[in-house]
Structure 1
Amino acid sequence: MQEPPESPSLYCTPERHLRAATPSPLARVYTPSISSRHTMIMTPTPTQTPEYLRESFPKTSDRLLLRNHRRTDPAIWCCAIVCLVFSILVILFGITTLIIFLVVKPKNPVFDTNHASLNVIYFDSPGNINGDFTFIANFTNPNRKLDVKYEYAAVELYFDNSMIANQSIKPFSQRQRETGVVKIHFVSSLVSLPLNHAMELQRQVTSNKVMYSVVGRFRVRVSFGLLHFSYWLHSRCELQMSSPPSGVLMARSCMTKR
């Protein structure tokens, strides 16, 4: 009778091919890494409290405390106060100017004409001319709340960008919505013109169509109660005249700007 096979022993040694596949119980034991061991070995540094700094660096901590409690220089306070006051004044001035501009709505005075006469044009030589021209200037103050004063006024007569006469006007004032008329008499005596301009003027006189330009330059002072401000105005009128001796205004185009 055959005997049954023996059951394997709990303490038997596994075979060679199974020995490598079976992990050793020691491998399951946690082995801390190098960085972990260093972390475990390091001791926590003490917190850098003011007491710790005072004990370690007594002189340095005293200096730090003195610097933190240093008082501000009075000159800096004075400069700050002056800058603050100046800023407030600038803001108030800007707000006041804006309010005045919105309430008053200032407009530029107007320079225009509706009458002019060309009395004389004759040539002493091909480049020298003599002339007599009368210009009636209309000055209008379109503002309803502002008075205007012309502190300086000069008017010039041009032909093809060549000045042939000029005239100044005495200072005068205009109240609100007022219109004034000033008669300006231009006299040209032996005025030298470039030859091509002189020939063009002769051609226009022959064709009964003379083109003149009147240019005005004015310094205007505007008043609103106790407030005053001045600025420059530049005006230009392009005129089409008939030929002398009875030359009249046929067409015009005037513009005024700052």
Structure 2
Amino acid sequence: MRHHPETNPYFYSQQHSQLPAPTPTPQHQSPQHQEPHPQAEPSGMTPPQSQDQIHPTTPWIWPPTQRPTIPPPKAEPLGQWGALVPQGTDGSAPKTQSTHSQAQELAPHSPPRHTGSQATQPPKHQRHRRQQSPREQQAHQRSYFGLAPRRTKLHTWFLAGFCAIFWLVIILGGLIVLIVYLVFRPHSPSFEVSSVTLNAAYLDVDVLLNADLTVLAKFINPNRKVRVDFSYVVLDLYYGNTLIASQYIEPFRAERRQIRLANVHMVASQVQLPSDETERLKREIERNKIEFQVKGVFRARSNLGSFLRYSYRLYGHCAIEVTDPPGGVLRAVKCKTKR
């Protein structure tokens, strides 16, 4: 059986390490005996073909590549910094050589690297990287600088939900109140004094007041769609700043657009007055014009329907002017009602 010699230079160097070193092929061989090598590199150089390569006994070695010589750059004046630049023996700047060139000089017979589609492809980190949107770029920058959003805690979510529900209730309540106001147009009732009769008024021992007064009170409900209930009504009679009589009125109801009248009998007995008010009462009796004040405190409730009800408190104040007793009548009155 015929033994075929090994043609791979790497296996050949290991198996036939005892053979003598091959002699390089002369470079001045005639080009007519050269044929293109089937595995020629894209550099354009064609290895020679001979009888030894058909049945090789020694590996073929590529000849050294001749690189073009680049002339050194012209030296330019550097001024005062020229002394810092190292110079060669002839006064010129030292020649530098890249690491790649030095490696090729140290190993001139190393086989060239294969270049193909891998050299034209982009790097791996750019090949699998898609184009990021502006939002993703912003998030990447925030995470790079330590500004990435953190996970929200449970109590924060609970507080936010409570605030949202609270404001939602307030907004809905405000809308309901607005709708009710626009539909019913509720107004507060008012208090007035229709007529007054002064039966008696005199001073006992010049300091004690005795008076008998009848007041016709009027309660007005101006609403067309709202009914008002008066659950607490108290009228007080004042002379100056002194309370001389007080009367309670039974609860009653004022229907829509209704006026209720109440006849209130008020009696003051042995009420001591200050000296200045005593002197003023004497002067008013002489002039036939006595001034009193009627103040009322009311608790009312407006009924807008079967379920819509709200209560409030009213304060009435009337300044009245009557003639001398007996049979004193009302001469002037001024009333106002407020909540």
Same fold (TM over 0.5): yes
Instruction: Tell me the equivalent position of 2:321.
Output: 240
Please tell me whether residue 83 in structure 1 is matched to residue 163 in structure 2.
Answer: yes
From 316, 330, 334, the counterpart of 1:249: 330
Letter in 2 for 1:186: M
Structure ranking higher on relative contact order (CA contacts 8 Å, 6+ apart): 1
State the alpha-carbon separation in 2 of the partners of residues 233 and 97 from structure 1: 21
Structure 1 spans left out of the alignment, 5+ residues: 1-27, 34-63
**Letter of the 1:251 counterpart:** A
Aligned length: 202
Structure 2 residue runs of 5 or longer lacking an equivalent are 1-75, 82-143
- Which residue number in structure 2 is paired with residue 114 of structure 1? 194
Q: What residue in structure 1 maps to residue 120 of structure 2? A: none
TM-superposed CA distance for 1:112, in Å, is 1.0
The structure carrying a bigger strand percent of its residues is 1
Tell me the equivalent position of 1:228.
Answer: 309
- Code of the aligned partner of 1:240: E
Runs of 4+ in structure 1 deviating by more than 4 angstroms, as ranges, are 28-33, 66-70
The offset of 1:246, in angstroms, is 0.6
What amino acid does structure 1 have at the position aligned with 2:332? Answer: A
CA RMSD after TM alignment: 2.7
Contact 1:237 1:255 (8 Å CA) reproduced: yes
Secondary structure at the aligned position of 2:162 is classed as helix
- Measured in 2, the distance between the counterparts of 1:234 and 1:31 equals 103
Amino acid at match of 1:198: T
**TM-score, structure 1 as length reference:** 0.71
**1:206 alignment partner in structure 2:** 286
SS in 1 for 2:288: coil
> Counterparts of 1:146-185 in structure 2 under 5 Å?
146-185=226-265
The letter for the 2-side match of 1:190 is Q
Contact 1:126–1:195 (8 Å) recurs in 2: no
Give the aligned partner of residue 100 of structure 2. Answer: none
SS in 1 for 2:246: strand
Q: SS at the partner of 1:133?
A: strand
Q: Residue 146 of structure 1 aligns to which amino acid in structure 2?
A: V
| Aligned residue in 1 for 2:124 | none
User: Are 2:225 and 1:145 equivalent residues in the alignment?
Assistant: yes
Letter paired with 2:178: L
Q: Which of 150, 172, 175 in structure 2 is aligned with 1:95?
A: 175
Aligned: 1:136 with 2:216: yes
CA deviation map 1:181-240 (0-9, x unaligned): 111111101001011211211221222111111111112211211122222211111111
> Matches of 1:236 and 1:217 in 2, distance apart?
9
TM-score by structure 2 length?
0.55
Deviations 1:98-123 (A, max 9, x none): 22223322222111122110001122
Q: Does the C-alpha gap of structure 1 residues 72 and 126 become closer, same or farther in structure 2, counting only changes over 3 Å? A: same
Aligned residue identity for 1:256: T
Q: Once the 2 structures are TM-superposed, how far is the Cα of residue 155 of structure 1 from its aligned partner?
A: 1.0
CA contact (8 A) 1:144 1:176 kept: yes
SS at match of 2:181: helix
Which structure is larger by alpha-carbon Rg, 1 or 2?
A: 2
Relative distance call for 1:84 and 1:205 in structure 2 (3 A) is same
Aligned twin of 2:114 = none
- Report the residue type matching 2:221 in the other structure: N
Q: Distance in 1 between matches of 2:319 and 2:180?
A: 35
Give how far 1:156 is off: 0.8
